[in-house]
Amino acid sequence: MREYLPILLFLIVAAVFAGSTIGMSSLIVPRRRNARKDSAYECGVDPVGNARARFTIKFYLVAVVFILFDIEAVFLYPWAVTFRQLGLYGLVEMLLFIVILLVGYVYLLKKRAFEWD
Amino acid sequence: MSVRMPVLLPVDLWALGAVIALSVGLMVMLLLEWAPVRPGSPRGAILSLLTLAAAAGSVLYVRDVARSLFGGMFVHDGFTVFFTILFCAVAALAVLLSWDYARRTRIGQSEYYMLLLSATLGMILMAASNDLITIFLGLELMSLALYVLVGIRRARLESNEAALKYFLLGAFASGFLLYGIALLYGATGSTNLTRMAEFLAASPLQNNPLLIVGGLLLLTGFAFKIAAVPFHMWTPDAYEGAPTSVTAFMSAGAKAAGFAALLRVVLHALGGVHANWAPMLSAIAMLTMTVGNVTALLQINLKRMLAYSSIAHAGYLLVAVVAGGHEGASAALFYLAVYSVMNLGAFGVLTLLGRGQEERVTLSDVAGLGFRHPLLGVTLTVFMLSLGGIPPTAGFMAKVYLFGVALKAGWIPLVIVGVLNSVVSVFYYLRVTVAMYMEEPALEPVGISWAAPGVIALMVCLALTLWWGVQAHALLALALRSVQGLM
Amino acid sequence: MTLPLISLIPALPLAAVALHLLLGDRLGKRGTALLACGAVGAAFLLALRAVFALAARPEADRTLVEIVTTWMRAGDFSVDISFLLDPLSAVMILVVTGVGFLIHVYSIGYMAHDASFRRFFLYLNLFMFAMLTLVLADNFLLMFVGWEGVGLCSYLLIGFWYERPSAAQAGKKAFVVNRIGDFGFLLGMLTLFAFGGTLNFTRLFAVAPHVFAAGGTVITIATLLLFLGATGKSAQIPLYVWLPDAMEGPTPVSALIHAATMVTAGVYMVARCHVLFRLAPVSLEVVAVVGAATALFAATIGLAQNDIKRVLAYSTVSQLGYMFMACGVGAFSAGIFHLMTHSFFKALLFLGAGSVIHALSNEQDLRRMGALSSRLPWTHGTMLVATLAITGLPPLAGFFSKDEILSSAFASGHFGVWLVGVAGAVITAFYMFRLYILCFRGSSRLTHEAEQHLHESRPSMIAPLVVLAVLSAVGGWVGMPFQAGGHAFERWLRPVFEGGPAFAPARELSHGTEWALVAVSVTAGVIGILTALRLYLQSPQTATSLASRYASLRTLLVNKYWIDELLDAAVVRPFGAFSGWLWRFWDVVIVDGTVNAVGYALEGASAVLRLFQTGFVGTYALFLALGVAAMLLHFLRHG
């Protein structure tokens, strides 16, 4: 069971960090209450109500695009950590990966996927 | 600590040529969004053809070498070459058929051809993968592109409905597939097909429930893609709702890709436990042939009828998989090549029917067609005869060889069911001929949208259907050679 | 001497088909006819040349194989496109191209006013190609290609006047019934391949005695499956139902396909596979019994028909039965002999009937014919020759072949079969003369309209009739019996049928017995003819016309009339009723009913299966999940 000790430590640190940041901010933030600010996530969507409400398709587009580029970051991080071991081969592979995503980005730009209206 | 990096030889780059060419081609097409052309320009089609030619050419250049790349995830062998060429040919024929069809139904934006190439890339990956993870990647790449293609006629409600159904059920089936992969990994300790085969050969635990359940779920995922009963229900709706050129492409390509992956998994990875899965597959094969053929009998819409027919053909193909061994695999390859050509041809004729945005694909629409357009009538007749397995067409040769192999392997009841089914199938294939030659059109006769590229594609399909009907041994020998490395 | 190019014989009609398609209507009617007949005529000349070349070789070496190309090869499975010319296929190609050429010529006149003139000759030429491929093939697969090809052409030509629903229906019926037979053929072929390892005739027949145990289950099943194919193509019990309906096609088609050539393909196939059938005595028995049963059964139905072509159709079914009877008792060469003579006189009968129908403005009902002998002298004369030939009167062609079949049946100890054959011969003679009398003799029952347009056919239609009449008269002389070592036709075929496993030779009959058998079969024909003359020629209507000329005979005829009534009530009526019942009940209810029931059952199943396709994604997903559950359950219980 010893090998699980770091995980336990990690869990504790995470819990403490999350708890303390939320606690701290709740202690020190200025409060100017109004209906908008009190709604969950502050995203303009009513969290309580009929789940069959229709969303505008734009949300989905943004969400999909977000996930795409978010995953890019997920891949970039471990690569950066082992950059030296992976060497030139890794660099080329990662560049290819970024170029492919870049093509998608350029396409989205042309399709005006980033413009809300 | 240092990681040993793989080295890519020049020959490997050639072997990867199809994947590289298609990736580059489809990215170029995305970027060309910045250089708009007038609607109806053939730019997308021409670029696709060039890309496909480059892809096929590069793989053909190194067709005789066998390589295993990326830690055994991607293999370049006879099997890969056969299917890469098949998929490139299917896609090229589909592009030719789409040339005018996509223009007149206003779906021919650059995305159309880009999605077509994506799907082709996915198919090639499925055939070339020697690892469940990459098979899944290829399958999803293909499927996602096809979901969009099915629904690309956004103004048509049927098209939307078809895409949504196909997507929902496809996602459901992908779930099964992925779950199956996970369980198989748990049971064998690897997702690599070769290592799974080694594990199974060495392991005494062949009745491990994890293995059985995992295998079944994996099978379900493939059965969905090849439209085997009872996982076929999406097929008629999707085939009918999709633009005809897309139906042509997916009925040939997606089915072949599903079988390519299935053959690798079942004959390579699970080859050692043949006795465990063969009876189950044989039952599915019988069910698939029978349900497909019997339901096709009463269909009025030709796209729907051909959808059920394609289900039935999946059943015949499963007979080859059940027979197993080099001969069974070669029969499947042979049948797939023939099936792709004749099915593309049959759907190809349908793409010519009707003008503008019209969809004229019912039995009454082709009534009297044989006399008003004799060459088109004869062409469709040949494809129908071939699908029904009547000599001297390729379909006959494919059936004879396939059933012969199954008989040799001792699957006699299966062959009897298969032959009986092909007798039944003649009825509905012949009905098309009867309508064309022996009935008068009830409504205004259907207009034909003649276009040179489509006609060229049909002539290629027709020529191959007849050629392989009388000169099949070269293809047969090729199929047999292509499966040598599989087991 | 250089080897003749066998492949050119089927290639010529095929080339004509291509030209028909390419040139289209640009050829005009004259050009189309010239092309079609020219190709078949040239094929006939080539066939003649090939057969002469074959005959010039020593008897032991009369087998020519021409490999055109390898069709497919995979592992130990290999099939060539190759043609086999031996004495058996030589007879077949001469009959097919020879009779075929005459019928092509005849069709020019018969179809002259048809709008689809070109389509007709296109199909005819396509048929010739398929038929020649069938008889020249040197392996089962190529034979099957021809087999399916002639089926397709038959379907197209039966439904040639597709605007008539009955024609379209008949075409479909022929195709569906034939598919049942084809299914048997295909399975038989696959079985032979699975055990024999090859589809090549020469190789398969060479290994057959070593691979298959004589009388074993495998060879019995395989040959029975092949015979199922033969019953479909050659219209034997139980698959004969399509042939009478096939008369919806133009009459030259009936003559070419449904009398002279295609329907004999089954007989040819059985004869070709004689090595296999001899290994399976049970199958041979089945062939003999089915042949005999069909011969008698179809003949009785022929008694009750009034449509001139239907009488001939049932007659064809019956005569094909005789050929199978011959094969079944081991007299393959007698079967082929009858196949040849039958193709002469039956083609002639159909063409003659076509000439009558043509002359009467498409009247086919015997009750509205009569007394045509003087109005259509050429047609009448040639038809009379054919009618006498089919009844088996010496020295016409039918006599020699039918007599040989009957004496072979007797000699091989199949007395029951022999008896049935003789009974069939009586009935055949009866209904053929009934047809002849109703059509050409007696009083005219023509409609006024038909009377107006009555005319003898043009010379291009009469000429083939005359040639066929000559053949029907003398064509049997190659089989002149009582020669040492068998007659000429038998000697010609001997190299083919001699090979294969040892077969108990038929008892050698003494000359006395042979003469007695000849007497029996001639008597059978004469009895049938006399009965027909009595019942139809001397009935009241005829009597009145005769009475005015021969007043002294009047009293006698009146007395005879009373006897005729008795005969009619005691024999013909019940017999007619029985055959009518057979036709209405057995044919229509049992056989057609079974065929239709299969169709309806499939359609019903289709309608039920369609209900599952609800269109709701939920249902589809449910089935998907149920499928997985079913598979899991299966493995949990059996895995």
C194 contacts B237? CB cut-off 8 A: no
Over 50: is that where the pLDDT of C565 sits? no
CB nearest C624 (choices: B172, B213, B396): B172
- Chain C's closest residue to B402, CA to CA, is C190
Q: How far apart are CA C281 and CA C283, in angstroms?
A: 5
- Listed range (B7-16, B94-103, C265-274) with the worst mean pLDDT: B7-16
Those of residues 91-130 in B touching chain C at CB distance below 8 A are none
Closest-CA residue to B383 (of B230, B251, B262): B251
CB neighbourhood size of C57 (10 A): 13
Mean pLDDT for the stretch of residues B74-103: 94
Q: Are B370 and B437 in contact (CB under 8 A)?
A: yes
Give the Å distances, CA to CA, from C235 to C136, C240, C294, C344, C596: 22, 4, 9, 19, 18
Taking residues B247-259, what's their average pLDDT?
Answer: 96
**Structural domain spans, chain B:** 11-482
Under DSSP, the state recorded for B367 is: T
Query: Cβ–Cβ contacts within 10 Å for residue C568, how many?
Result: 16
C626 and B419 within 8 Å at the Cβ level: the answer is no
**For B275, which residue in chain C has the nearest alpha carbon?**
C639
- Taking the CA of residue C288 and the nearest CA in chain B, the distance in Å comes to 28
- Nearest CB to B172; choose among C72, C172, C621: C621
Q: Residue B33 and residue A107: Cβ atoms within 8 Å? A: yes
Is it the case that residue C339 has pLDDT exceeding 80? Answer: yes
| Weakest-pLDDT range from C32-46, C316-330, C409-423, C470-484 | C470-484
Q: Is the pLDDT of residue B40 over 80?
A: no
pLDDT at B38: 81
Closest to B378 measured CA to CA, from C342, C412, C508, C152: C152
Provide the b/e sequence for B300-321 (b: ≥16 CB within 10 Å).
Answer: ebbbbbbbbbbbbbbbbbbbbb
C490 against C590, higher pLDDT: C490
CB neighbourhood size of A32 (10 A): 6
Interface of B with C in 360-399 (CB under 8 A): 378, 385, 390-392, 396-397
Instruction: Report the chain B residue with the minimal C-alpha distance to residue A85.
Output: B2
Instruction: Write down which chains contact chain A via at least 3 CB pairs under 8 A.
Output: B
Question: Which of A82, A86, A107 lies closest to B31 in CB terms?
Answer: A107
Task: Label residue C398 by pLDDT band (50, 70, 90).
Answer: confident
Please state, as a whole number, how many other Cβ atoms lie within 10 Å of the Cβ of residue B56.
22
Question: Residue C504 has what pLDDT?
Answer: 47
Q: Which one of B2, B3, B31 has the shortest CB-CB distance to A103?
A: B31
Convert the pLDDT of each residue in C49-64 to its tens digit: 989 888 888 887 888 8
Cα C485 to the center of its chain, rounded Å: 30
A to B CB pairs, distance under 8 Å: 25
Look at C602 and B231 and tell me if their CB atoms are within 8 Å: no
Task: Please give the Cα distance from B257 to B290 (Å, whole number).
Answer: 23
Q: Is the pLDDT of residue C633 over 90?
A: no
Identify the pLDDT of residue B479. 92
Average pLDDT over residues C289-300: 88
Asked if B34 is an interface residue toward chain A (Cβ–Cβ < 8 A), one would say yes
pLDDT in tens, C174-183: 887 788 888 8
Domain boundaries along the sequence of chain A: 2-110
Query: How much is the average pLDDT of C221-242?
Result: 87
Whether B81 has a pLDDT exceeding 80, the answer reads yes
Between chains, do A107 and B1 touch, taking CB under 8 Å as contact?
no
Question: What confidence tier does C542 reach under pLDDT thresholds 50, 70, 90?
Answer: low
Lowest-confidence pick of B99-103, B177-181, C582-586: C582-586
pLDDT at residue C549 greater than cutoff 80: no
C-alpha–C-alpha distance, residues C301 and C316, integer Å:
12
Q: Of residues C603 and A77, which shows the higher confidence score?
A: A77
pLDDT of residue B322: 94
From C600, which residue of chain B is nearest by alpha-carbon distance? Answer: B297
Max CA distance (Å), chain A = 56
Contact C447, C363 (CB under 8 A): yes
Asked if the Cβ–Cβ distance from B30 to A89 is below 8 Å, we say no
Specify whether the CB–CB gap between C419 and C426 falls below 8 A.
Answer: no
User: Taking residues B305-310, what's their average pLDDT?
Assistant: 95
Nearest to B470 among C71, C144, C630 (CB): C71
Residue A44 has pLDDT above 80, yes or no: no
- Residues from A contacting B (CB-CB < 8 Å) are 82, 85-87, 89-90, 100, 103-104, 106-107, 110-111
**Residue of A107, A108, A112 to mutate, interface with B, max B Cβ within 10 Å:** A107
Torsional sign, CA B197, B203, B205, B207: positive
- Which contiguous run of DSSP H or E holds residue C64? strand C64-74
pLDDT of residue A45: 65
pLDDT at B94: 96
DSSP states along B38-72:
-TT-THHHHHHHHHHHHHHHHHHHTTT--EEETTT
Q: Does B24 touch chain A (CB under 8 A)?
A: no
Q: How far is residue C388's CA from residue C465's CA, in Å, rounded to a whole number?
A: 15
SS3 B391: coil
DSSP-derived 3-state class of residue A44: coil
Taking only the tens place, the pLDDT of each residue in A96-113 is 999 998 998 898 888 888
Q: How confident is the model at residue C588 (pLDDT cuts 50, 70, 90)?
A: low
From chain B, the residues in CB contact with A111 under 8 A are 33
The stretch C9-16 carries a mean pLDDT of 91
The predicted pLDDT at position C610 comes to 75
pLDDT of residue C556: 38
Helix-helix angle B473-482:B78-104, to 10 degrees: 120
- Which range, of B243-247, B397-401, C260-264, C372-376, averages the lowest pLDDT? C372-376
Interface present between C and B (3 or more CB pairs within 8 Å): yes
Query: If you average pLDDT over every residue of chain B, what do you get?
Result: 90
B235 φ, ψ (degrees, to nearest 5): -55, -55
DSSP class of residue C260 equals: I
Q: Mean pLDDT: which of C244-258, C301-315, C336-350, C488-502 is highest?
A: C336-350
In the three-class reduction of DSSP (H, G, I as helix; E, B as strand; rest coil), residue A117 is classed as: coil
ipTM of the complex as predicted: 0.79
**If DSSP codes are grouped into helix, strand and coil, which group holds residue B89?**
helix
Q: Which residues in chain B have Cβ-Cβ distances shorter than 8 Å to C617? A: 164-165, 168-169
* B154 Cα to chain A: minimum distance (Å): 15
What confidence category does residue B171 fall into, taking pLDDT thresholds of 50, 70 and 90?
very high
- Render pLDDT for C427-465 as a digit per residue (tens, 0 to 9): 899 889 888 988 888 777 787 777 777 888 888 888 999
pLDDT value for C499: 59
Rounded Cα gap, residues B465 and B472, in angstroms:
10
Q: Which residues of C touch B403 (CB under 8 A)?
A: 190
* Helical ranges in B264-301 per DSSP H: 274-296
pLDDT higher than 70, residue C508 = no
Rg of chain A over all Cα atoms, to the nearest angstrom: 21
Whether A and C touch (3+ CB pairs < 8 Å), yes or no: no
Average pLDDT of the segment spanning B112-141:
95
Average pLDDT over residues C177-195: 86
Q: Provide CATH code, domain A2-110.
A: 1.20.58
The pLDDT of residue C453 is 78
- What's the pLDDT tens digit per position in C618-632? 888 888 888 888 888
Tell me which H or E stretch contains C78: strand C77-85
Cis bond before residue B392 (omega within 30° of 0): yes
B 146-175 residues inside an 8 A Cβ radius of C: 164-165, 168-169, 172-173
Q: Which chains border C (3 or more CB–CB pairs < 8 Å)?
A: B
Whether residue C607 and residue B168 make contact (CB cut-off 8 A), yes or no, is no
pLDDT score recorded for residue C584:
66
Question: Is the CB of C74 less than 8 angstroms away from the CB of B230?
Answer: no
Return d(Cα B4, Cα B1) in angstroms, integer. 10
What's the pLDDT score for residue C554? 39
Average the pLDDT over B201-213 and give the result.
Answer: 77
pLDDT reported for residue C560: 33
Asked if the C-beta of B407 comes within 8 angstroms of chain C's C-beta atoms, the answer is yes
Write the residue in C145, C172, C634 that is nearest to B392 by C-beta. Answer: C145
Closest chain B C-alpha to C173 CA, distance in angstroms: 11
What's the mean pLDDT in B240-244?
93
Residue C2's pLDDT band (boundaries 50, 70, 90)? low
Which residues make Cβ contacts (< 8 Å) with residue B54, sequence separation at least 6?
A: B17, B21, B25
- How would residue B6 be classed by pLDDT, with cut points 50, 70 and 90? low
Q: Pick from C291, C284, C450, C272: which is nearest to C356 by CA?
A: C450
Rounded distance, CA C89 to CA C96, Å? 10
Q: What is the pLDDT of residue C558?
A: 35
